[in-house]
Amino acid sequence: MRWSFRIGSLFGIPIKVHFTFILLLIFIALSPRKDAGTLTGLIGVITVILIFACVLIHELVHSIIAKALKIDVKDIILLPIGGVSSIKDLSKDPNNEIWIAIGGPIISGVLSFIFYFMAKVITPHSSMDFAHGNLLVTLFWVNLILALFNIIPAFPMDGGRVLRGILARKMDHLRATRIAVSIGRYFAILLFFVGIFYNWWMALIAVFLYLGGESEARMEQMQLSLANVPVKKAMITNIMAFPSNLTIKNAVEQIYHTSQVDFPVVKRGVVEGIVSRDRLVSAVKEKKEGLYVKDIMEKDFIAFNENTPLSEVFKDMVENSISSAPIISGNRIIGMITLDQIAKYKMLKQVKNSLH
């Protein structure tokens, strides 16, 4: 996901924070608390760190269940609506999705119960009101809200995932996703209007919910329509590649004659790196025309085998934020794939289908 920063890893799972989550933390740290007096700032920061920990525990439980079911977890991203665990291949077994999704609200529910008792036992005279209570009361509410929001059957919340899992046992996965997403959409619209009148933060969460469900459904549809197509069917074969010992000066002269933006750097048919148009142009500005393309090429690049399904290629490219990649047969380059090209392929396929 764009705009997220890695802060570390737990149980081998990278933990990332989305910038909107940091905005939320700052908002909480700065909002005045009636009980704190001069300690406002400090209490705010401690509160923020503990809220952060509660959201993280919720997400970790999803990931740990996934790992126990032998499902890959790519990372955890913390967002204002809680968090997102990027868990791969949920479509294969709907039961897995149900187990993974249900763990989060359960742990948040248990935590809210624990904090409720701690507040009652340690600070029996404190108000249990969210706005007036102490730190334990705040944590009780935060976990309760996390648990309650996540059992709403609104995709992409956990409850929506459980719903999709249950539906997917009876019908194909894409249809189950569509139904879960449309139910989620009604909840999001409802939440938005309630939020406008009661709490603007709730309205913002509704927007996240609406968009999150949309993008998941679109992604899955894309995946399904491309699952049985090898990438070689959609690749560009008429490509410009540079020999590794070509000078930057000569390379720049050639790029005027093509709309291609990324160029494989090749030595005896084998790709050694990628050089982009921007990189070539900036090399000229840095007065490096005399160097070779191999001196400025990106050596760390992703290439795909010609038979890789287009759905996997698309997913990898989106996840790694790359717009083009070389296609390899044996170990020789035979073409390039770009996100534009995948979109074009999909569009042409749809047109073809509608003609039949």
Which residue among 97, 158, 216, 220 contacts Zn ion (CB under 5 A)? 158
The string over 248-279, giving b where at least 16 C-beta atoms fall within 10 Å of a residue's C-beta and e elsewhere, is: beebbeebeeeebebbbbbeeeebbbbbbbeb
Where is 205: in which H helix or E strand? helix 200-226
**Based on CB atoms, which residue is closest to Zn ion, 99 or 349?**
99
Give the nearest distance from C-beta 146 to Zn ion in angstroms.
8
**Based on CB atoms, which residue is closest to Zn ion, 20 or 126?**
20
Size of the site for Zn ion (CB under 5 A): 3
Give the number of other Cβ atoms within 10 Å of residue 292's Cβ. Answer: 18
**Based on CB atoms, which residue is closest to Zn ion, 78 or 328?**
78
The token pair at 30 is 């700065």
Q: Which burial class, exposed, middle or buried, applies to 179 when counting CB atoms under 10 A from its CB (0-12, 13-18, 19+)?
A: middle
The residue of the chain with the least Cβ separation from Zn ion equals: 104
**Based on CB atoms, which residue is closest to Zn ion, 87 or 135?**
87
Stretch touching Zn ion by CB under 5 A, among 1-9, 127-135, 152-160, 315-323: 152-160
Give the nearest distance from C-beta 161 to Zn ion in angstroms.
8
Structural contact between residues 243 and 264, judged by C-beta atoms closer than 8 angstroms: no
Rg of the chain's alpha carbons, rounded to an integer? 25
What is the C-alpha to C-alpha distance for residues 14 and 184, in angstroms, rounded to an integer?
A: 28
Give the nearest distance from C-beta 59 to Zn ion in angstroms.
6
Give the nearest distance from C-beta 100 to Zn ion in angstroms.
9
262 binds Zn ion (CB under 5 A): no
Which residue among 104, 133, 160, 335 contacts Zn ion (CB under 5 A)? 104
Binding site for Zn ion (CB under 5 A): 104, 150, 158
